[in-house]
Structure 1
Amino acid sequence: MNDHTIPGIGSDGRITLAHGGGGTAMRALIDGVFLRAFSDDPAAPQEDQARFALADLAALGDRLAFTTDSFVVDPLEFPGGDIGTLAVCGTVNDLAVGGARPVALSAAFILAEGLDLALVRRVSASMAACARAAGVRIVTGDTKVVPRGACDGLFVTTTGIGVIRPGCAISIAAGRPGDVVIVNGTLGDHGAAILCARGDLALDVALGSDCAPLNGLTDALLDAAPDVRCMRDATRGGLAGVLSELAEASGVTVRIDEAALPVRPEVAGVCEILGLDPLYLANEGKLAAVVPAAAADAALAAMRAHPLGREAAVIGRLEAPASGRGAVHLANRFGGQRVVTMPSGEQLPRIC
């Protein structure tokens, strides 16, 4: 089905309010775009819910994980991805860092009147490709159309379920003094790429988002180091936000070494020009893992053996807090120290 065979789509190839009205135009949009991209069998009966065999889920683990997120990135397409890949990766990664094997996603779309249908097709195709790469299915969803100007083009909400492997007890509150902090690669790539893609600044920098599903990496890490204490993907708020949450929840001092932080020269340059800190920039394919010191070598080797962890690095350690309260301390390249605080605002709007 091409754009002109979908009722309501004229020569301009744009979404109209009819596509959210519950009638033939909406049915044709769902069938011709979303089912075509996401369904293994578009001709199968379409129920109001996805259904799963409990035995199949139980074979993967002993607990369900459930997460949801909304995505409002600007621009909708950017080097290294688009809002669709962002939605799939963000939800898959939220499950994976809890030790879950992602199983299925839902996807809800809010479309603005006048949105280019070709863009909707591209986003749907990239979502489908990313879901296949992550080994998950998009099994249910929803579509709404709002009047022109009521949303900035396209918003996506994804919800995911996964199954947590037996014996896995990952928690933001599980960090202990002596544990090691590892990241799987360079920091701030997504935030810097989005900033440059907006075109508001005359920055001639070739940067792409690090958007990637991390469940293959987390599986490899947990196979090699089953005693991982905590994993978090460093999205909004960046690594600084993740480590601040860890310090507070676990009641520890997180001491990190600036010289050990992997940051691309291009990202460092953008941050220097604009007065930003890569610790606070968003990532969409990076996680921080906290592991016992005895498991650090195995964890680091497992990460570096995976395509998404080749630049993994140990960046710090956990210590008992001097004041009784958790905090994050960074040792800089000049021998000094500073406290890294929780982000108090947003460095960049609509980053994910």
Structure 2
Amino acid sequence: MRELPLINREQQVLDRIERARRRRPTVREERITLAHGAGGKATHTLIDAVFLEEFRNPLLEPLEDGARFAVDGARLAFTTDSYVVSPLFFPGGDIGDLAVNGTVNDLAVCGARPLYLSAGFILEEGFPVADLRRIAASMARAAAAAGVAIVTGDTKVVGRGKGDGCYITTAGVGVVEREGAFSAAAARPDDVVLVSGPVGEHGVTVMLARGELDISSDVTSDTAALHGLVAALLDATDGVRCLRDATRGGVATVLNEIAAASGTAVIVREEAIPVRRDVRGACELLGIDPLYVACEGRLVAVVDGAEADVALAAMRAHPLGAGAAVIGRVAEDPPGLVLLKTAFGGTRIVDMLVGDPLPRIC
């Protein structure tokens, strides 16, 4: 009897994802809440139930940080993002360099070399022109440092009290010069999970800069453009399966996205996760897990286990990856879950972010 060809694991994973999405997730809330913008469960449900449902197409369905496509033989990546951080200026950065670096990073984790950005501004009546100049200058410096150009944009003004000062929307396009398609669905058992440096610095910085807490700290935002680090990693090994920048929802949300998309388990060692002492201290005082706190200059990489040492060395050789660490591995079971091996020898589930513990951090 002729045997049927085996369906490869990646196709099985994609089929499971498609079946899960056909279950039509629903938004139970009648009105939008802050949690819908926090990057966790509520955000993912909103995206699946509203935007993916209406806009569904093959480029959107992977729900990566950007779309990859070809035009007349040229392979391109395209992404967009919006920035509503409060306060606008914080230690280590501001909304301007955040907008540039965040969009550059979304292109970088698609495996693209960033080229051009757009910038749209929504300004509130009464916003100081001096602050707008400061933001624009910061964006210009960040773009120059990243080697990209801001080539088009738009400006709108809303009435006083309607816009909280300044919001920025950026879009970016880059060229994909390397083979391979990096995807959360590509993770496989025996892969390793790396993070490029200490986590949680941006979220804690913004939280403290809001001035609502009587906590003093020298922590500063980690905002940075990561395309150089990504290039160094990809130059060193072809074993990279997936790249994600850990912004809203933090590293925990990224790991959950990887586990869900690939149908694997991600097992993380608590003692291996790099966290600065002052960040950990602030999180402990507030009852917040650093794994859920946003970064703006850190990436998570899933790499073939055989290439772990090479990948780690390549990241540590780059200034933005000096604090890189292997924090866990990919396993077959239990599929779709992230497990944390605690310092006390126990194991707990790390679920996707629920609620909105740190509003307006990006």
TM > 0.5 fold call: yes
Question: What are the superposed Cα offsets for residues 320-351 of structure 1, whole Å, 9 maximum, x if unpaired?
Answer: 023xx311000000000100001121111111
Structure 2 CA distance for aligned equivalents of residues 275 and 344 of structure 1 = 14
* 1:202 counterpart residue number: 214
Aligned partner of residue 173 in structure 1, secondary structure: helix
> 1:62: how far off?
4.1
* 1:95 counterpart residue number: 107
Are 1:268 and 2:301 counterparts?
Answer: no
> 1:166: how far off?
3.2
Aligned partner of residue 184 in structure 2, secondary structure: coil
* 1:11 counterpart residue number: none
Question: What are the superposed Cα offsets for residues 195-225 of structure 1, whole Å, 9 maximum, x if unpaired?
Answer: 1101101101111000000000000000001
Letter in 1 for 2:292: Y
Are 1:79 and 2:91 counterparts?
Answer: yes
TM-score (norm 2): 0.79
* 1:259 counterpart residue number: 271
Structure 1 CA distance for aligned equivalents of residues 147 and 269 of structure 2 = 36
Are 1:220 and 2:232 counterparts?
Answer: yes
> 1:58: how far off?
8.8
Q: 1:172 to 1:62 in 2, by over 3 A?
A: farther
Structure 1 CA distance for aligned equivalents of residues 241 and 74 of structure 2 = 18
TM-score (norm 1): 0.82
Which residue among 339, 345, 350 is the counterpart of 1:335? 345
Question: What are the superposed Cα offsets for residues 142-201 of structure 1, whole Å, 9 maximum, x if unpaired?
Answer: 011111111000000000001112312211100000000010000000000001101101
- Report 1:135-214 matches (<5 A): 135-214=147-226
Preserved CA contact (<8 Å) 1:91 1:159: yes
Structure 2 CA distance for aligned equivalents of residues 229 and 62 of structure 1 = 22
Structure 1 CA distance for aligned equivalents of residues 239 and 266 of structure 2 = 19
Question: What are the superposed Cα offsets for residues 239-259 of structure 1, whole Å, 9 maximum, x if unpaired?
Answer: 000000000001111000000
Preserved CA contact (<8 Å) 2:239 2:303: yes
Aligned partner of residue 175 in structure 2, secondary structure: strand
Are 1:283 and 2:295 counterparts?
Answer: yes
Structure 1 CA distance for aligned equivalents of residues 294 and 346 of structure 2 = 26
Preserved CA contact (<8 Å) 1:328 1:340: yes
- Report 1:26-175 matches (<5 A): 62-175=74-187
| Greater displacement, 152-161 / 340-349 | 340-349
Structure 2 CA distance for aligned equivalents of residues 67 and 321 of structure 1 = 33
Structure 1 CA distance for aligned equivalents of residues 329 and 339 of structure 2 = 10
Runs of 4+ aligned residues of structure 1 deviating over 3 Å after TM superposition are none
* 1:234 counterpart residue number: 246
Preserved CA contact (<8 Å) 2:111 2:178: no
Preserved CA contact (<8 Å) 2:125 2:159: yes
Structure 1 vs Structure 2 CA RMSD: 1.4
Preserved CA contact (<8 Å) 1:62 1:166: no
Aligned partner of residue 236 in structure 1, secondary structure: coil
* 2:5 counterpart residue number: none
Q: Percent identity?
A: 61
> 1:226: how far off?
2.0
Preserved CA contact (<8 Å) 1:189 1:267: yes
Number of residue-to-residue matches in the alignment: 293
Rg larger for = 1
* 2:34 counterpart residue number: none
Structure 1 CA distance for aligned equivalents of residues 86 and 289 of structure 2 = 20
Structure 2 CA distance for aligned equivalents of residues 182 and 69 of structure 1 = 25
